[in-house]
Structure 1
Amino acid sequence: MDVLLFLIPALPLAGALVNGLLGGLLPRALRAGIAVGAVAASCVLTLVLWPLAAGTGTRATLFTWLDSGSLQVPVEILFDPLSASMTLMVTAVSTLIHLYAAGYMEEEVDTARFFTLLNLFVFAMLLIVLADNLLLLFLGWEGVGLCSYALIGFWYAKTQNAAAGRKAFLVTRVGDVFLGIALLWLFSLFGTLSISSINAQAPLLDSGTLLLLTLLLLGGACGKSAQLPLMTWLPDAMAGPTPVSALIHAATMVTAGVYLLCRLFPLISLSPTGLACIALVGALTALYAASCALVQTDIKRVLAFSTMSQVGFMMLAVGVGSVSAALFHLLTHAFFKALLFLAAGCVIHLAAGENDLTRLGGMRKESPFLFWMFLIGVLCLAGAPLTGGFFSKDGILLADFARATPFYWTTWALSSLTALLTSIYAFRLLYLVFLGEPRDRRTKSPYLPDTMRWTLPPLALAGLLGGLLNLPPLFGGTERLTMFLGDLAGATLHVGLAVEWFLLLLATALFALGWALVHLRLRYELRSPSGRFGDFLLRAWRVDDLVARLVVRPFQWVGEVLWLWGDRRLIDGAVEGTGRLCLAGGELLRRWTTGRLSTYLYSLAGGAAAILIYLLIRAW
């Protein structure tokens, strides 16, 4: 029975292999059916095997991957409450995204490559989630990086799409270097790469080592989860098809960093300074991304910055020591962010490929159904009372406030400000897309494929009811997710009933204030960002310019110097100079081969004279 756990990641891999090897020979519908069926079967199998996750979970070993001296790396997975919850979310949301993609890509020619990469993406993410070995986890870690590169640049004929894929690949590689160093260091310290063993032996390490390891793991997480300072790739990742954006933002790649820290929480929790660094990075990233989302004019870029901000909340939850709060928000965010991205794809489909907010508007009249779906996503994102996003975000703010230190009260204040900004940009997006009148846009067709339309209601329902996963006692709940996680849930911090009601009312007030500001100031009309500050936010604090000056341009300059002086002058010069020398020598020798007898006699006499002179000098 335990071996069946390996079928959970194996089924999407099988789907990728079938489409990759035979997809070009199969009908279009069958390609999509194989991809959807593989992930759906993985989801069903997760539900069937769910009892194996109870308690400390179930560990299953398939075979030994590497065995050299003290290094033993088995292909081993751990199906415990943490990994099981993530696995169910990944497979369920990915199934809906795959089904949506079947309709979204119906006019695309190369669907075999698309669905191969989409299935491979899910397989790599499941490998990260289920692995109980850091090397196996690292294999999945690199797998999602490769798939993101290929899917973001799927339409590589356009230069900007290919550039976006390369940017994602290179920036995330920086974080991977940190994770790779941490992996090697952990092996040198413990002689094993087993995550369970490392967590069990972590108390043996001194505080300095724990801090450095935590910072290295944080660096790796920042790359995959697009946190400061390795966040510049995520907004450009919108170059890929919308189902790819939904998969990256909701179910797979950007949550990998958060999951890594949760999986190794027994280690990083031993370093209070390390946890504070994680909390600070999360709070600052959340505020940074929310401020950028306020002024974006591309519908998908708004959602991209939103994802960056919401993942910042998850990182903050890990930093305050609450794995359950981080996982709770990760799950609810997956539901409503997938809903928002897929609904945005429907908007773009109906608007003939238009995604510029300056040219959208009035979509509510054209598709009331789509308006209500998008509204539910916006309410969850903005933290409307009683929605899933409200409970999960409030749980993070509560855990942060309960730390009761000046540092964590500061991160709480930053996060509360971010919650207000989230409400503002979420409702701004809703107003600009659906309310008012259309602005310079031609509608392609009111038709939406059924596979695109009917994947939205399940996500909307999950987003609205997601709070039931970990409903707090204040609302009559039992915090089921926290109880299910058990010892994996992290610290449990309590505050008085009056404080809890205060934080609850404050969260509601921030939501209402954000909506009121948008309603009173926007009034259904677009106000483009103006002035230096608006341009500063629109260009994401000019971080790309800073990276270009500090990293890209110096690298290009070094490359140009090496090309000019190393390649052209030294290497090419040496090779071409040797060739010219040979040609000159050949030309000189050619002059002695005139065919005239007198020339040969002179040469013979000259050579004889040279020999005699040499012998006389030696004799002397």
Structure 2
Amino acid sequence: MNSALLLLIIPLLSAILIHFLLQQKMASIAAILGTIGTLVTLGISLSLLSSDAVGCSFNWAQIGDFNVNIGIQLDQLSKGMMVVVTGIGLLVHVFSLGYMKDDESKARYFGNLSLFMFSMTGIVLADNFVMMFIFWELVGLSSYLLIGHWYQKDSAADAAKKAFLSNRVGDFGFLIGILMIWGITGSIVFDQMALSAATPFLGAAVLLVFCGAIGKSAQLPLHVWLPDAMEGPTPVSALIHAATMVAAGVYMMARFFFSIGFDVIPDCSAVTIAWIGGITSLAAALMATQQDDIKKILAYSTLSQLGYMVMAVGLVDPNAGMFHLYTHAWFKALLFLGSGAVIYACHHEQNIWKMGGLFKKMPITGITFVIGTLCLTAVPFTSGFFSKEGILHAAHESNPALFYIAVAVAALTTFYMFRLLFIAFFGKAKDEHAAHAKEVPLVMAVPLLILGLMSLASPWIGKAIPALNDFHPHIGLEMNSVTIASIAAFVVGLAAAVVFYKGKESDPLANNKVMQLFRNKFYVDEAYAILIKIFQDLVAAIVHFIDEFFINGLLVGGLTRIAQGTGNLFRNHCQSGRLQGYATLLGLGAIVIIYIVTFL
């Protein structure tokens, strides 16, 4: 059997066994099975990095001359992405052993994690658009199940539905785009899509395919689901909403651009993609500056960094986007699991203004969280610095306006992350839970330490691995205008955080009207609510009125009442059971018959 097939089979078998055989009565075995399965897939992924293994394919469906295959593509892009998916997946599984140890539905949780690993692996390894779309939808299902794990809470159930429906909007455009690409290139297989020149409707097809990324990677205007998805367990946020699922859109666009060729991508569609990424990055960073929930700060940070990656793809530099995806996956997973450790230690308190002084009480969590923050804020020589430099250089060379936006986002990132650090980890404890917090168990601390190491070392590790080397166009510190702008953005953001939040007991900007706009997320959710009232609820009310008044009332109801009235007339007067009535009808009938026979 092709070893790459095991990457799909192992998590699928794990999900089946847990859901149908183990269930909650053997929850501990289910947790261990899911973790071991992910460990094996990581081992296989690492072995593929240095091997010459090739993909495989078998026919899944055939309609005339059209074949749909389940095919595995092993190249630099898929091999590198598999290391990220399985590596972070394993650490999330291990962390979950401690975080979810007392959960009432632990077996279901680990079963859904295995289903997610199967679905995400299918996206990464797919060699054609149809297979990718199938697993794309399975990832949506997995995300729905994991976000709504605590479905007894209305907020969790609503968040799961919101994520599912938001992604379906993007996926509708994605499906149309796939059909258009099939019509343009004559193939759905990535290696057979190459075009020698741009063709009519290619720009529209590219943007429709990008709709899938808008949903999965939570770009404007479909970004609203990701912050609410924090209602799921924190390890889920680390796996799905920091490193893998939300990055699937960026990965898909990189795969697509490599397949059709950079030279044929219409400028209008590329620029549109770049600006959507840039605007999303800026808007999300502004929203993050005024959030008080530790997980939502990181959620908006993820939105912002995904905007960076999408912008790089739109600037036709997917290597820079994938490099940032690779480094960001490690340090953002670290930050999310670090927030999970904080929430666990503070008895599930998530408001940073009820924390404080955690660095001394939780030194491992504190140190690793600082490492993640330094990487995210692009401190020189950290992984985030090198990957963000690639995006800044791409913007500087192609679109100065987007470059300035990217630099502003870098300053805002430093501001809101050090705001979080100052409030939650330093100063005095502001709540009794924070005052009595202590370091998390070793099963949760070890993944933090490993992620901290990977956050710092990932660029050099990736540089040494052939399958990851393509994502690393440059590692080094050169004092040019881009680097100076990046460092200046860090200094400005840090200075602002120190001035406004160091040692503060409450938010000094809470009453500022501009900051309230950021705190309320630019009222996008409220705007959606109004649109839904107009275009869904109002239309539904009109249709309901037409259905009840015209169709049921006049048409169907009216005809029904006429039939009932006519029936009642004959029933009451002709079928009354009185002999006199029957005799009268008999006589009238005889008279009619005699008349017809005599005169007609």
Q: TM-score, normalised by structure 2?
A: 0.93
Q: How does 1:246-395 map to 2 (within 5 A)?
A: 246-266=238-258, 267=260, 269=262, 270-271=264-265, 272-395=267-390
Q: 1:501 aligns to what?
A: 480
The one-letter code sitting in structure 2 at the alignment partner of 1:540 is K
In structure 2, what is the Cα distance between the partners aligned to 1:182 and 1:260?
Answer: 13
Q: How does 1:136-175 map to 2 (within 5 A)?
A: 136-175=131-170
CA positional deviation for 1:260: 0.8
Q: Percent identity?
A: 35
The one-letter code sitting in structure 2 at the alignment partner of 1:442 is H
Whether the 8 Å CA contact 1:176–1:220 is kept in 2: the answer is yes
Match of 1:603 among 558, 578, 585: 585
1:431-485 deviation line (CA, Å, top 9, x unaligned): 1111122224435763633322221000011111223246xxxxxxxx557x756
Unpaired runs of 5+ in structure 1? 471-478
Secondary structure at the aligned position of 2:104 is classed as coil
1:585–1:43 distance in 2 versus 1, CA, 3 Å? same
In structure 1, what is the Cα distance between the partners aligned to 2:345 and 2:484?
Answer: 39
Q: 2:106 aligns to what?
A: 111
In structure 1, what is the Cα distance between the partners aligned to 2:159 and 2:298?
Answer: 17
Q: How does 1:527-542 map to 2 (within 5 A)?
A: 527=507, 529-542=510-523
In structure 1, what is the Cα distance between the partners aligned to 2:598 and 2:357?
Answer: 107
Q: 2:55 aligns to what?
A: 59
Number of matched residues? Answer: 593
Whether the 8 Å CA contact 1:36–1:95 is kept in 2: the answer is yes
In structure 2, what is the Cα distance between the partners aligned to 1:247 and 1:557?
Answer: 39
1:494–1:16 distance in 2 versus 1, CA, 3 Å? closer
1:115–1:575 distance in 2 versus 1, CA, 3 Å? farther
Q: 1:430 aligns to what?
A: 421
In structure 1, what is the Cα distance between the partners aligned to 2:24 and 2:291?
Answer: 42
1:592–1:213 distance in 2 versus 1, CA, 3 Å? closer
Whether the 8 Å CA contact 2:358–2:437 is kept in 1: the answer is no
1:192-244 deviation line (CA, Å, top 9, x unaligned): 2111101x3x22442x4332222112222111101122211111111111111
Q: How does 1:533-552 map to 2 (within 5 A)?
A: 533-552=514-533
Does residue 417 (structure 1) correspond to residue 408 (structure 2)? The answer is: yes
In structure 2, what is the Cα distance between the partners aligned to 1:613 and 1:297?
Answer: 96
Q: 2:9 aligns to what?
A: 10
In structure 1, what is the Cα distance between the partners aligned to 2:80 and 2:338?
Answer: 25
Q: 1:473 aligns to what?
A: none
Q: 1:47 aligns to what?
A: 46
Whether the 8 Å CA contact 2:291–2:297 is kept in 1: the answer is yes
In structure 2, what is the Cα distance between the partners aligned to 1:578 and 1:113?
Answer: 53
CA positional deviation for 1:36: 0.7
The one-letter code sitting in structure 2 at the alignment partner of 1:522 is Y
> 598-607 or 16-25: which moved more?
598-607
In structure 1, what is the Cα distance between the partners aligned to 2:533 and 2:162?
Answer: 11
1:220–1:268 distance in 2 versus 1, CA, 3 Å? farther
CA positional deviation for 1:17: 0.7
Match of 2:196 among 203, 209, 229: 203
1:242-283 deviation line (CA, Å, top 9, x unaligned): 111111123321101100111011326222332222221111
In structure 2, what is the Cα distance between the partners aligned to 1:181 and 1:616?
Answer: 76
1:461–1:616 distance in 2 versus 1, CA, 3 Å? farther
Whether the 8 Å CA contact 1:52–1:79 is kept in 2: the answer is no
1:395–1:204 distance in 2 versus 1, CA, 3 Å? closer
The one-letter code sitting in structure 2 at the alignment partner of 1:158 is K
CA positional deviation for 1:286: 0.8
Match of 1:244 among 223, 227, 236: 236
1:42–1:484 distance in 2 versus 1, CA, 3 Å? closer
The one-letter code sitting in structure 2 at the alignment partner of 1:23 is L
The one-letter code sitting in structure 2 at the alignment partner of 1:58 is V
Whether the 8 Å CA contact 2:176–2:209 is kept in 1: the answer is no
Secondary structure at the aligned position of 2:107 is classed as helix
1:329–1:604 distance in 2 versus 1, CA, 3 Å? same
> 519-528 or 308-317: which moved more?
519-528
The one-letter code sitting in structure 1 at the alignment partner of 2:340 is G
Whether the 8 Å CA contact 1:268–1:275 is kept in 2: the answer is no
In structure 2, what is the Cα distance between the partners aligned to 1:353 and 1:95?
Answer: 23
Whether the 8 Å CA contact 1:322–1:489 is kept in 2: the answer is no
Secondary structure at the aligned position of 1:454 is classed as helix
Whether the 8 Å CA contact 2:280–2:303 is kept in 1: the answer is yes
Q: 1:178 aligns to what?
A: 173
Whether the 8 Å CA contact 1:324–1:485 is kept in 2: the answer is no
Match of 1:72 among 63, 67, 77: 67
In structure 2, what is the Cα distance between the partners aligned to 1:360 and 1:480?
Answer: 41
CA positional deviation for 1:48: 1.8
The one-letter code sitting in structure 2 at the alignment partner of 1:102 is L
Whether the 8 Å CA contact 1:328–1:469 is kept in 2: the answer is no
The one-letter code sitting in structure 2 at the alignment partner of 1:153 is G
Secondary structure at the aligned position of 1:141 is classed as helix
Secondary structure at the aligned position of 2:537 is classed as helix
The one-letter code sitting in structure 2 at the alignment partner of 1:41 is V
> 362-371 or 443-452: which moved more?
443-452
Match of 2:123 among 125, 128, 152: 128
Does residue 216 (structure 1) correspond to residue 211 (structure 2)? The answer is: no
CA positional deviation for 1:19: 0.6
In structure 1, what is the Cα distance between the partners aligned to 2:388 and 2:514?
Answer: 28
Secondary structure at the aligned position of 2:516 is classed as helix
The one-letter code sitting in structure 1 at the alignment partner of 2:214 is C
Coordinate RMSD, CA, aligned: 2.6
Secondary structure at the aligned position of 1:74 is classed as strand
In structure 1, what is the Cα distance between the partners aligned to 2:249 and 2:588?
Answer: 82
The one-letter code sitting in structure 2 at the alignment partner of 1:282 is G
The one-letter code sitting in structure 2 at the alignment partner of 1:359 is K
Unpaired runs of 5+ in structure 2? none
Whether the 8 Å CA contact 1:214–1:268 is kept in 2: the answer is no
In structure 1, what is the Cα distance between the partners aligned to 2:387 and 2:417?
Answer: 17
Q: 1:475 aligns to what?
A: none
Secondary structure at the aligned position of 2:62 is classed as strand
